[in-house]
Amino acid sequence: MSADDAYRDFPCDLCGADDAVEVPHCREFLADGAIHICRRCGFVYARRRRPAKRIAEVWSQEIFGHAYTAAIPAVRARLTYVAEFVNGAIGLRGRSVCEIGAGEGHGLELLREPRYGADVFGVEPSAANCARLRSLGIDHFGGTIEEFVAGPDPPRFDVVMIQWTLENCEDCRAMLDGAHRAVKPDGVIVVATGSRLLVPFKKPLHTYFSRLPADTHAFRFSANTLQAMLATTGFAPIHVNRYLDHDVLCVIGRRVDRSATMPWTGDSYLDVHGFFERWYVDTRMYFPDPIA
């Protein structure tokens, strides 16, 4: 095993506890590793992870453009849903928007259309995706958000968006720390992800996990834990979508002084554990021949 592939163990990213149990049956579906549930706050995460650079390389070079592309109609539909929700909640016209993990630029293309009228910028580690952003005339930075804000006075934006990317990094707190530095003092963050824990039965359990190593989707948020993660990294949640109607969870948070302590609520790990047990039973009942 190379140094780039060396794993290390993490405590809970939300509360810091080091007491967790495995999600029941998860090893049946994952290519490698396991997903855990924190006993203290109910956060669902992969304890063992490779370095951030390696995970970014896997997504940029092995998954994006091969096993996954944002060009498919289902992804474009959820990007449109988020754009509509955010525009209705805070308005996007004339605002500067930075997307962390801009990918192939489909989300930013959408946001700069006349309907939304945003001034867009992307942060993206994939060289191939940066080439596409360049071809679209979208200003961007080639690298991670941590690298982008490393200087003493990084650029700041009215809105920083993280769409289906916060769950795919090594350190979600580090990504949110970077986002906090990139948001104007009166700006907001938008985080969109799959509402995996609260709207599960629209998909079988094997498609929730996918045949990838556990750390490629290291974090699995519920509405409670996503809002809690924002609250503990300097963002006060101000809007949450009707996630029970969709397979999208989107939270908008207002940037606040990080010295302030905000209350937050996690999940019961027993409830989350039982939830996955029921999901497994229903998967076996209604999807007897899962596709690997």
- Provide the token pair at 282: 């229903």
In the prediction, which pLDDT does 223 show?
96
In the prediction, which pLDDT does 21 show?
98
Spans of the chain below 50 pLDDT: 1, 292
Tell me the pTM.
0.92
In the prediction, which pLDDT does 271 show?
96
In the prediction, which pLDDT does 285 show?
87
Residue given tokens 């990213």 in the structure block: 13
DSSP helix/strand/coil, 255: strand
Instruction: Show me where the domains of the chain are located.
Output: 51-265
Is residue 179 within 8 A of residue 160, CB to CB? The reply is: yes
In terms of CATH architecture, what is 51-265?
A: 3-Layer(aba) Sandwich (3.40)
State how far the Cα of 224 lies from the Cα of 5, in Å rounded to an integer. Answer: 32
Which residues, other chains included, contact 120 with Cβ-Cβ below 8 Å and sequence gap of 6+? 97, 98, 99, 108, 111, 112, 138, 139
State how far the Cα of 183 lies from the Cα of 97, in Å rounded to an integer. Answer: 9
In the prediction, which pLDDT does 292 show?
45
CB atoms within 10 A of CB 139: 13
In the prediction, which pLDDT does 19 show?
97
DSSP letter at 27? G
Per DSSP (E only), the strands in the chain are: 8-9, 20-22, 36-38, 44-45, 48-49, 96-100, 119-124, 140-142, 157-163, 183-194, 219-220, 235-240, 248-255
State how far the Cα of 191 lies from the Cα of 253, in Å rounded to an integer. Answer: 8
